[in-house]
A and B are shown apart, each in its own frame.
Chain A
């Protein structure tokens, strides 16, 4: 699975980067994003949901979070 590391990137740049990465990915594909705790893990999933992607899960790793999602149709 493709993993996109957004750690160390602040809001809203992290969301915009996630959006750009998703543009090159086919609908229905599952990808994961690595997100910092705090504002990023609170804001990015919600914004990606608003964009029409399907959130699948969130897992805590050492000090960061892994968000898995399925790319939505255009």
Chain B
């Protein structure tokens, strides 16, 4: 065999995607949570300028993709990006780079540190082979859910459970006005009345209250599992509430282990379809063993989205 022109170990992890043209590849860079330092961005720009097409593509999962890279330049690209600072992403049947919104650091809605969670998952689980299909994780800072957590294999959404200290309340009425879910109304004593059955954990009451009468009794992630998009989309369903930030990696690891085991022999099948096949009870009970205080009583199967294709009665 001829001496390979490039270091094939660079290819193994994936992240090099064949393009249309001869010898040309897209190089997908690893940008967990979509945050990138300006220094790194300049470095990437320089490499893209030198080896690429004159533009990059921002993928829908927050990665930067270098376009039109000749495969003979792989080693140079990897070296010039600086392996420690900028790693190449993955593709194939692996845990992908997690996505996240900006979270609480500067976004006024954020309830949890999504960036920290995304980095931690990236460091500890990125690239883990599932044996079956890709596995996507996403973190949203609050129930607005801009990054669309529920269409990931495991989607996390920041949440708080509000608690009222009625003595601190000055009866301004702002919390009741702020709650779009109808969980708060002003009572006859001019203090808010909390209808817990309607609360979706957004924390808007806490954020608006001028006196701190509302505070967070508990905080963590709402977790939905089994989502995906693509040809046959599924929306993930609820498995746990208020999972603490520090247990996120363990939680994903249990889901991964269940997937690896239950999809054995199924081929290239996503988690949501395995849940439909095995029944959600199996996964829910597996999670309950390790996370009894967070797992919900029951859930439903991943929700099938009607794509309306093929058209009924369509013909050649």
Contact = CB atoms under 8 A, between A and B. Distances in A.
Interface of A: 41-42, 45-47, 49-50, 54-59, 65
Nearest to A67: B174
Give the size category of B's interface with A: 10 to 19
18 contacts: A42-B177, A42-B178, A42-B204, A45-B174, A46-B108, A46-B208, A49-B207, A49-B208, A55-B174, A55-B208, A55-B210, A57-B170, A57-B171, A57-B172, A57-B174, A58-B174, A58-B177, A59-B173
Contacts of B204: 42, 46
Contacts, number: 37
Contacts of A57: 170-174
Given A41-B177, A42-B178, A54 B108 contact: no
B180 interface: yes
Interface string B177-221: 110100000000000000000000000100110100000000000
Contact of B108 (A50, A55, A59): A50
Interface in B106-164: 108
A47 B177 contact: no
A54 B210 CA distance: 6
A50 B177 CA distance: 18
B210 A47 contact: no
Nearest to A68: B172
A58 B108 contact: no
A13 B116 CA distance: 32
B172 A58 contact: yes
Nearest to B210: A55
Point out which of A50, A57, A58, A65 has the most chain B C-beta atoms below 10 A from its C-beta: A58
A65 to B, nearest CB: 7
B221 to A, nearest CB: 23
Interface in B33-47: none
Contact of A47 (B108, B170, B174, B180): B108
Contacts of B180: 42
A38 to B, nearest CB: 10
Interface in B219-253: none
B108 A56 contact: no
B178 A46 contact: yes
